[in-house]
């Protein structure tokens, strides 16, 4: 892992956006893994600025989102499809058919997971996967558990995850109880991973991700097994590299 620390979120957003933009400029048909939530909003804004300045084109790029709520209409403002359209896709030149988000309203969610994995297999691997991290160490919606699924699957959201996402809804009752998410195997198959972590309230879980034991009880800790992870954060943490 490579750890980059920033004094403020504005500098972090710019650096993260520049990394994604550089990947696309180096490989115009790059496959990008995208994330949602509060963490990537600022860096998506920086990407849009660079596109508007003519510094990058996404015409040949493809994107695969990590996850989507189950049972939430895509027209709902808090669906992850709506989030991506609002924060990024509607403001750049990416082709609609090249943007992929799991279908949380599929009649057969298990079948949808298989379909999504097949697309990933055919069009991937992902060149650069953007990730955030949950307060409990979840990646995508891979929640802490005694075991983790390798492939795209339906998951029951932990109470703490629903509570954290309540700020995007009118009440906790409106927060979906289930989601469909890429599995950890699919995520770790990416050629490179960019983990963005914001806010000192996530310093402890980031420290456990970087330096703690690898355990399914902290899904993010599995990133230690990947050969190319770049961490960008404004948290005051250190990466204690072992030389044993």
Query: What is the spatial distance between Cα 54 and Cα 35, in angstroms, rounded to a whole number?
Result: 24
Q: Which of 67, 68, 117, 234 is catalytic?
A: 67
- CA 234 to chain centroid: 18
Task: Lay out the sheet containing 31-34: strands in order across.
Answer: 2-5, 229-233, 193-197, 128-131, 31-34, 62-65, 99-100
Query: What is the spatial distance between Cα 102 and Cα 108, in angstroms, rounded to a whole number?
Result: 12
Does 143 participate in catalysis according to the annotation?
yes
- DSSP SS3 for 129: strand
Q: Which of 60, 136, 160, 207 is catalytic?
A: 136
Query: What is the spatial distance between Cα 94 and Cα 60, in angstroms, rounded to a whole number?
Result: 7
Tokens standing for residue 239 = 């990466």
Question: To which residue do tokens 């989102």 refer?
Answer: 65
Does 103 participate in catalysis according to the annotation?
no
| Phi (first) and psi of residue 17, to 5 degrees | -60, -40
Query: What is the spatial distance between Cα 22 and Cα 55, in angstroms, rounded to a whole number?
Result: 10
Q: Which of 13, 103, 138, 165 is catalytic?
A: 138
Query: What is the spatial distance between Cα 227 and Cα 76, in angstroms, rounded to a whole number?
Result: 38
Does 136 participate in catalysis according to the annotation?
yes
Q: Which of 65, 143, 189, 234 is catalytic?
A: 143
Query: What is the spatial distance between Cα 168 and Cα 61, in angstroms, rounded to a whole number?
Result: 29
Does 204 participate in catalysis according to the annotation?
no
User: Which residues participate in catalysis according to the annotation?
Assistant: 67, 136, 138, 143
């Amino acid at each position: 892992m490579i750890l980059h620390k920033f004094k403020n979120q504005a500098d972090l957003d710019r650096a993260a956006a520049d990394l994604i933009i550089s990947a696309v400029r180096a490989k115009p048909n790059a496959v990008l893994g995208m994330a949602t939530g509060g963490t990537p909003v600022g860096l998506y804004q920086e990407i849009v600025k660079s596109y508007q300045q003519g510094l990058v084109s996404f015409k040949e790029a493809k994107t695969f989102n990590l996850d989507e709520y189950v049972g939430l209409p895509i027209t709902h403002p808090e669906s992850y499809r709506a989030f991506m359209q609002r924060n990024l896709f509607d403001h750049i030149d990416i082709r609609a058919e090249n943007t992929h988000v799991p279908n949380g309203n599929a009649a057969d969610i298990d079948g949808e997971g298989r379909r999504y994995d097949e697309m990933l297999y055919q069009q991937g691997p992902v060149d650069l996967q953007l990730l955030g991290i949950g307060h409990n160490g979840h990646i995508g919606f891979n929640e802490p558990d005694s075991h983790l699924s390798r492939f795209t699957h339906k998951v029951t959201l932990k109470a703490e995850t629903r509570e954290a996402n309540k700020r995007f809804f009118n009440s906790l009752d409106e927060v979906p109880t289930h989601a469909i998410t890429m599995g950890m195997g699919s995520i770790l198959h990416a050629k490179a991973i960019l983990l963005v972590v914001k806010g000192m309230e996530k310093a402890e879980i980031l420290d456990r991700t970087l330096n703690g034991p690898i355990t399914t009880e902290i899904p993010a800790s599995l990133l230690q097994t990947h050969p190319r992870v770049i961490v960008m954060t404004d948290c005051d943490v250190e990466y204690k590299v072992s030389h044993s």
